[in-house]
Protein backbone atom coordinates (compact mmCIF):
# COMPACT_ATOMS: atom_id res chain seq x y z
CA UNK A 1 0.00 0.00 0.00
CA UNK A 2 1.33 3.48 -0.86
CA UNK A 3 1.92 6.11 1.78
CA UNK A 4 -0.93 8.15 0.32
CA UNK A 5 -3.25 5.14 0.52
CA UNK A 6 -2.21 4.56 4.13
CA UNK A 7 -2.98 8.17 4.97
CA UNK A 8 -6.43 7.81 3.34
CA UNK A 9 -6.98 4.62 5.31
CA UNK A 10 -6.02 6.38 8.54
CA UNK A 11 -8.55 9.12 7.84
CA UNK A 12 -11.23 6.51 7.29
CA UNK A 13 -10.34 4.70 10.51
CA UNK A 14 -10.56 7.95 12.44
CA UNK A 15 -14.13 8.41 11.31
CA UNK A 16 -14.97 4.85 12.29
CA UNK A 17 -13.16 4.81 15.68
CA UNK A 18 -15.00 6.57 18.48
CA UNK A 19 -12.89 4.67 21.02
CA UNK A 20 -10.20 6.90 22.53
CA UNK A 21 -7.69 4.03 22.85
CA UNK A 22 -8.06 3.33 19.13
CA UNK A 23 -7.43 6.98 18.32
CA UNK A 24 -4.30 6.97 20.48
CA UNK A 25 -3.03 3.96 18.54
CA UNK A 26 -3.91 5.65 15.24
CA UNK A 27 -1.98 8.81 16.17
CA UNK A 28 1.10 6.77 17.03
CA UNK A 29 0.74 4.89 13.75
CA UNK A 30 0.47 8.18 11.87
CA UNK A 31 3.62 9.50 13.62
CA UNK A 32 5.61 6.41 12.67
CA UNK A 33 4.35 6.50 9.10
CA UNK A 34 5.17 10.19 8.67
CA UNK A 35 8.60 9.90 10.33
CA UNK A 36 9.57 7.13 7.97
CA UNK A 37 8.31 8.64 4.72
CA UNK A 38 8.27 12.44 5.07
CA UNK A 39 11.13 12.99 2.62
CA UNK A 40 9.34 11.00 -0.11
CA UNK A 41 5.93 12.62 0.21
CA UNK A 42 4.52 14.99 -2.39
CA UNK A 43 3.13 18.33 -1.28
CA UNK A 44 -0.42 16.95 -1.62
CA UNK A 45 0.43 13.91 0.50
CA UNK A 46 2.02 16.10 3.18
CA UNK A 47 -1.15 18.20 3.25
CA UNK A 48 -3.18 15.03 3.70
CA UNK A 49 -1.03 13.98 6.65
CA UNK A 50 -1.43 17.47 8.08
CA UNK A 51 -5.20 16.93 7.96
CA UNK A 52 -4.85 13.53 9.63
CA UNK A 53 -2.86 14.92 12.53
CA UNK A 54 -5.15 17.92 12.94
CA UNK A 55 -8.23 15.74 13.18
CA UNK A 56 -6.60 13.19 15.45
CA UNK A 57 -5.11 15.82 17.74
CA UNK A 58 -8.55 17.19 18.50
CA UNK A 59 -9.68 13.75 19.66
CA UNK A 60 -6.83 12.66 21.96
CA UNK A 61 -5.65 13.83 25.36
CA UNK A 62 -2.77 16.20 25.97
CA UNK A 63 -0.40 13.39 27.00
CA UNK A 64 -0.56 11.92 23.53
CA UNK A 65 -0.42 15.33 21.85
CA UNK A 66 2.77 16.00 23.83
CA UNK A 67 4.23 12.71 22.62
CA UNK A 68 3.30 13.51 19.02
CA UNK A 69 4.71 17.04 19.30
CA UNK A 70 8.08 15.73 20.54
CA UNK A 71 8.25 13.26 17.65
CA UNK A 72 7.07 15.58 14.88
CA UNK A 73 8.65 18.94 15.78
CA UNK A 74 12.21 18.02 14.69
CA UNK A 75 11.05 16.92 11.20
CA UNK A 76 12.35 19.55 8.81
CA UNK A 77 9.47 20.11 6.40
CA UNK A 78 6.37 18.88 8.07
CA UNK A 79 2.82 19.62 9.04
CA UNK A 80 2.58 23.42 9.21
CA UNK A 81 -1.07 23.44 10.32
CA UNK A 82 -0.50 20.84 13.02
CA UNK A 83 2.64 22.56 14.27
CA UNK A 84 0.79 25.87 14.46
CA UNK A 85 -2.02 24.20 16.42
CA UNK A 86 0.46 22.55 18.77
CA UNK A 87 2.43 25.79 19.25
CA UNK A 88 -0.68 27.49 20.64
CA UNK A 89 -1.77 24.49 22.72
CA UNK A 90 -2.56 25.46 26.30
CA UNK A 91 -0.50 22.53 27.59
CA UNK A 92 3.13 23.65 27.57
CA UNK A 93 4.26 20.02 27.19
CA UNK A 94 2.68 20.10 23.72
CA UNK A 95 3.74 23.60 22.75
CA UNK A 96 7.32 23.64 24.08
CA UNK A 97 8.95 21.11 21.70
CA UNK A 98 7.25 22.80 18.76
CA UNK A 99 8.33 26.37 19.53
CA UNK A 100 11.80 25.01 20.30
CA UNK A 101 12.26 23.00 17.09
CA UNK A 102 9.54 23.23 14.41
CA UNK A 103 10.67 25.35 11.47
CA UNK A 104 7.14 26.07 10.27
CA UNK A 105 6.41 28.27 13.31
CA UNK A 106 6.76 31.85 12.05
CA UNK A 107 8.49 34.84 13.61
CA UNK A 108 5.12 36.55 14.11
CA UNK A 109 3.78 33.52 15.96
CA UNK A 110 6.87 33.37 18.16
CA UNK A 111 6.50 37.07 18.97
CA UNK A 112 2.84 36.55 19.88
CA UNK A 113 3.63 33.55 22.09
CA UNK A 114 6.49 35.46 23.75
CA UNK A 115 3.99 38.12 24.81
CA UNK A 116 1.01 35.95 25.76
CA UNK A 117 2.55 32.61 26.73
CA UNK A 118 3.76 31.35 30.07
CA UNK A 119 7.33 31.76 31.26
CA UNK A 120 7.81 28.02 30.76
CA UNK A 121 6.87 28.46 27.10
CA UNK A 122 9.09 31.54 26.77
CA UNK A 123 12.00 29.54 28.17
CA UNK A 124 11.46 26.99 25.37
CA UNK A 125 11.29 29.69 22.70
CA UNK A 126 14.52 31.17 24.05
CA UNK A 127 16.29 27.87 23.28
CA UNK A 128 15.27 27.94 19.61
CA UNK A 129 18.11 28.33 17.11
CA UNK A 130 18.48 31.63 15.24
CA UNK A 131 15.58 33.50 16.83
CA UNK A 132 15.46 37.13 15.72
CA UNK A 133 15.74 40.30 17.78
CA UNK A 134 11.98 40.86 17.39
CA UNK A 135 11.42 37.66 19.31
CA UNK A 136 14.14 38.14 21.94
CA UNK A 137 12.95 41.71 22.60
CA UNK A 138 9.59 40.34 23.77
CA UNK A 139 11.17 37.45 25.66
CA UNK A 140 13.26 40.00 27.56
CA UNK A 141 10.28 42.33 28.08
CA UNK A 142 7.95 39.65 29.46
CA UNK A 143 10.20 36.81 30.63
CA UNK A 144 11.45 35.96 34.10
CA UNK A 145 15.10 35.32 35.04
CA UNK A 146 15.26 31.72 33.71
CA UNK A 147 13.99 33.02 30.36
CA UNK A 148 16.74 35.65 30.32
CA UNK A 149 19.30 32.94 31.13
CA UNK A 150 18.17 30.91 28.12
CA UNK A 151 18.26 33.95 25.82
CA UNK A 152 21.77 34.86 26.95
CA UNK A 153 23.05 31.28 26.76
CA UNK A 154 21.69 30.92 23.21
CA UNK A 155 24.55 32.31 21.11
CA UNK A 156 22.56 31.81 17.89
CA UNK A 157 19.89 34.22 19.15
CA UNK A 158 19.96 37.79 17.85
CA UNK A 159 19.69 40.40 20.61
CA UNK A 160 19.06 44.07 19.94
CA UNK A 161 21.04 46.92 21.54
CA UNK A 162 18.03 47.69 23.72
CA UNK A 163 17.66 44.02 24.62
CA UNK A 164 21.25 43.83 25.84
CA UNK A 165 20.75 47.03 27.82
CA UNK A 166 17.66 45.64 29.60
CA UNK A 167 19.32 42.33 30.35
CA UNK A 168 22.36 44.07 31.82
CA UNK A 169 20.08 46.03 34.15
CA UNK A 170 18.14 42.90 35.13
CA UNK A 171 21.34 40.96 35.81
CA UNK A 172 21.76 42.88 39.07
CA UNK A 173 21.99 40.31 41.92
CA UNK A 174 22.12 37.48 39.35
CA UNK A 175 25.73 36.28 39.02
CA UNK A 176 24.77 33.51 36.59
CA UNK A 177 23.23 35.95 34.12
CA UNK A 178 26.14 38.36 34.55
CA UNK A 179 28.64 35.65 33.64
CA UNK A 180 26.56 34.50 30.69
CA UNK A 181 26.23 38.02 29.28
CA UNK A 182 29.95 38.68 29.70
CA UNK A 183 30.68 35.70 27.44
CA UNK A 184 28.35 36.89 24.64
CA UNK A 185 30.60 37.79 21.67
CA UNK A 186 27.98 40.23 20.35
CA UNK A 187 27.35 42.31 23.48
CA UNK A 188 27.75 46.03 22.80
CA UNK A 189 30.03 48.34 24.76
CA UNK A 190 27.20 50.34 26.35
CA UNK A 191 25.51 47.25 27.76
CA UNK A 192 28.86 45.83 28.84
CA UNK A 193 29.61 49.01 30.79
CA UNK A 194 26.22 48.73 32.49
CA UNK A 195 26.93 45.07 33.21
CA UNK A 196 30.20 45.99 34.96
CA UNK A 197 28.34 48.62 36.99
CA UNK A 198 25.86 46.10 38.40
CA UNK A 199 28.14 43.03 38.49
CA UNK A 200 29.06 41.48 41.81
CA UNK A 201 32.65 41.83 42.96
CA UNK A 202 33.21 38.15 42.18
CA UNK A 203 31.96 38.39 38.59
CA UNK A 204 33.73 41.70 38.00
CA UNK A 205 37.00 40.15 39.19
CA UNK A 206 36.45 37.21 36.83
CA UNK A 207 35.93 39.60 33.91
CA UNK A 208 39.06 41.55 34.83
CA UNK A 209 41.00 38.29 35.06
CA UNK A 210 39.84 37.23 31.58
CA UNK A 211 40.84 40.64 30.27
CA UNK A 212 44.32 40.23 31.78
CA UNK A 213 44.57 36.87 30.00
CA UNK A 214 43.74 38.63 26.69
CA UNK A 215 40.47 36.72 26.28
CA UNK A 216 38.65 39.76 24.88
CA UNK A 217 39.06 40.34 21.14
CA UNK A 218 36.65 43.29 21.11
CA UNK A 219 38.77 46.39 21.75
CA UNK A 220 35.70 48.45 22.61
CA UNK A 221 35.02 46.08 25.50
CA UNK A 222 38.67 46.25 26.58
CA UNK A 223 38.37 50.04 26.81
CA UNK A 224 35.18 49.65 28.87
CA UNK A 225 37.02 47.28 31.22
CA UNK A 226 39.91 49.71 31.62
CA UNK A 227 37.48 52.52 32.46
CA UNK A 228 35.70 50.27 34.96
CA UNK A 229 39.00 49.45 36.67
CA UNK A 230 39.80 53.14 37.00
CA UNK A 231 36.32 53.86 38.31
CA UNK A 232 36.66 51.04 40.83
CA UNK A 233 39.96 52.39 42.10
CA UNK A 234 38.35 55.80 42.57
CA UNK A 235 35.36 54.20 44.28
CA UNK A 236 37.65 52.33 46.65
CA UNK A 237 39.04 55.70 47.74
CA UNK A 238 42.55 55.33 46.33
CA UNK A 239 42.14 58.69 44.64
CA UNK A 240 42.16 60.17 48.15
CA UNK A 241 45.33 58.36 49.25
CA UNK A 242 48.47 60.47 49.18
CA UNK A 243 50.79 58.01 47.46
CA UNK A 244 53.58 60.56 47.22
CA UNK A 245 53.65 60.88 51.00
CA UNK A 246 53.29 57.09 51.40
CA UNK A 247 56.20 56.53 49.02
CA UNK A 248 58.31 59.02 50.97
CA UNK A 249 57.57 57.27 54.28
CA UNK A 250 58.38 53.81 52.91
CA UNK A 251 61.68 55.00 51.42
CA UNK A 252 62.68 56.68 54.68
CA UNK A 253 61.99 53.41 56.52
CA UNK A 254 63.92 51.48 53.84
CA UNK A 255 67.11 53.32 54.86
CA UNK A 256 66.96 51.60 58.23
CA UNK A 257 65.43 48.22 57.34
CA UNK A 258 64.61 46.07 54.36
CA UNK A 259 61.23 46.50 52.66
CA UNK A 260 60.00 42.92 53.01
CA UNK A 261 57.06 40.83 54.12
CA UNK A 262 57.38 41.76 57.77
CA UNK A 263 57.17 45.46 56.91
CA UNK A 264 54.17 45.07 54.65
CA UNK A 265 52.49 43.03 57.40
CA UNK A 266 53.15 45.85 59.88
CA UNK A 267 51.60 48.37 57.48
CA UNK A 268 48.58 46.11 57.02
CA UNK A 269 48.06 45.77 60.78
CA UNK A 270 47.98 49.56 61.06
CA UNK A 271 45.58 49.89 58.08
CA UNK A 272 48.15 51.94 56.13
CA UNK A 273 46.82 51.14 52.67
CA UNK A 274 49.05 53.63 50.83
CA UNK A 275 52.20 52.22 52.41
CA UNK A 276 51.03 48.64 51.73
CA UNK A 277 50.62 49.43 48.04
CA UNK A 278 53.97 51.21 47.77
CA UNK A 279 55.67 48.30 49.55
CA UNK A 280 54.14 45.92 47.01
CA UNK A 281 55.70 47.92 44.17
CA UNK A 282 59.16 47.56 45.76
CA UNK A 283 58.91 43.92 46.83
CA UNK A 284 57.52 42.65 43.52
CA UNK A 285 58.95 45.36 41.24
CA UNK A 286 55.51 46.09 39.78
CA UNK A 287 53.97 49.44 38.73
CA UNK A 288 51.88 51.44 41.19
CA UNK A 289 48.69 50.93 39.13
CA UNK A 290 49.14 47.18 39.25
CA UNK A 291 49.74 47.27 43.00
CA UNK A 292 46.52 49.29 43.39
CA UNK A 293 44.64 46.69 41.35
CA UNK A 294 46.00 43.95 43.59
CA UNK A 295 44.42 45.68 46.56
CA UNK A 296 40.98 45.86 44.93
CA UNK A 297 40.67 42.21 43.94
CA UNK A 298 41.11 39.27 46.34
CA UNK A 299 42.27 37.04 43.48
CA UNK A 300 44.94 39.54 42.39
CA UNK A 301 46.04 40.06 45.99
CA UNK A 302 46.50 36.31 46.46
CA UNK A 303 48.61 36.11 43.29
CA UNK A 304 50.78 39.04 44.38
CA UNK A 305 51.21 37.64 47.89
CA UNK A 306 52.12 34.17 46.63
CA UNK A 307 54.65 35.70 44.21
CA UNK A 308 56.28 37.23 47.28
CA UNK A 309 55.97 33.94 49.21
CA UNK A 310 54.05 35.63 52.02
CA UNK A 311 52.81 33.62 54.98
CA UNK A 312 49.16 32.90 55.62
CA UNK A 313 49.28 35.31 58.58
CA UNK A 314 50.42 38.18 56.37
CA UNK A 315 47.75 37.43 53.77
CA UNK A 316 45.13 37.38 56.51
CA UNK A 317 46.13 40.91 57.57
CA UNK A 318 46.20 42.10 53.94
CA UNK A 319 42.66 40.78 53.46
CA UNK A 320 41.52 43.12 56.23
CA UNK A 321 43.04 46.38 55.02
CA UNK A 322 41.60 48.99 52.68
CA UNK A 323 38.06 49.70 51.45
CA UNK A 324 38.03 46.64 49.17
CA UNK A 325 38.62 44.14 51.97
CA UNK A 326 37.45 45.74 55.21
CA UNK A 327 33.86 44.66 54.52
CA UNK A 328 34.73 41.00 53.91
CA UNK A 329 33.03 38.69 56.39
CA UNK A 330 35.03 35.99 58.16
CA UNK A 331 33.75 33.02 56.08
CA UNK A 332 34.68 34.84 52.86
CA UNK A 333 38.09 35.81 54.21
CA UNK A 334 38.65 32.21 55.33
CA UNK A 335 37.74 30.88 51.87
CA UNK A 336 40.28 33.26 50.29
CA UNK A 337 42.95 32.02 52.69
CA UNK A 338 42.17 28.43 51.74
CA UNK A 339 42.43 29.36 48.07
CA UNK A 340 45.79 30.97 48.79
CA UNK A 341 47.14 27.66 50.01
CA UNK A 342 46.39 26.11 46.60
CA UNK A 343 48.29 28.68 44.51
CA UNK A 344 51.70 27.55 43.33
CA UNK A 345 54.56 30.03 43.68
CA UNK A 346 55.74 29.40 40.11
CA UNK A 347 52.27 30.15 38.75
CA UNK A 348 52.00 33.39 40.72
CA UNK A 349 55.44 34.56 39.60
CA UNK A 350 54.53 33.85 35.98
CA UNK A 351 51.38 35.99 36.35
CA UNK A 352 53.37 38.84 37.88
CA UNK A 353 55.84 38.67 34.99
CA UNK A 354 52.88 38.98 32.64
CA UNK A 355 51.69 42.06 34.54
CA UNK A 356 55.08 43.67 34.05
CA UNK A 357 55.24 42.80 30.36
CA UNK A 358 51.78 44.16 29.71
CA UNK A 359 52.63 47.39 31.48
CA UNK A 360 55.74 47.81 29.32
CA UNK A 361 53.69 47.23 26.16
CA UNK A 362 51.16 49.85 27.27
CA UNK A 363 53.94 52.35 27.89
CA UNK A 364 55.59 51.69 24.52
Is the pLDDT score of 213 beyond 60? yes
DSSP string, 130-154: T--HHHHHHHHHH--HHHHHHHHH-
Cβ(137)–Cβ(108) under 8 Å?
no
Q: Is the pTM of this model over 0.85?
A: no
pLDDT given at position 1: 42
The Cα 122–Cα 333 span in angstroms is: 40
pLDDT digits (tens, 9 = 90+) for 16-70: 566 667 667 777 777 777 776 666 677 787 787 788 778 777 777 888 889 889 8
**Within 13 Å of residue 253, how many CA atoms lie on the same side as its CB?**
19
CA dihedral (286, 289, 290, 296) positive or negative: positive
The answer, yes or no, to whether residue 14 has pLDDT greater than 70, is no
Amino acid sequence: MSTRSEAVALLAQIEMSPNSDDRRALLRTACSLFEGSEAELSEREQTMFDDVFNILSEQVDSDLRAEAASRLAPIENGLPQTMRTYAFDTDVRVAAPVVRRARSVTEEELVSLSITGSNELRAAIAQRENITAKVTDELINYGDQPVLHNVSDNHTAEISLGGFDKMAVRSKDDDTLQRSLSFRPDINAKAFAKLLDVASDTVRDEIFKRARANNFDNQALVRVIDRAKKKLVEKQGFDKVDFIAADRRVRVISRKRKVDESLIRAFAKEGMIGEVIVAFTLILDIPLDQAKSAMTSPESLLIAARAGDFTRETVSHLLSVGPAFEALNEPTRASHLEAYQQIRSETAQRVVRFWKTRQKLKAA
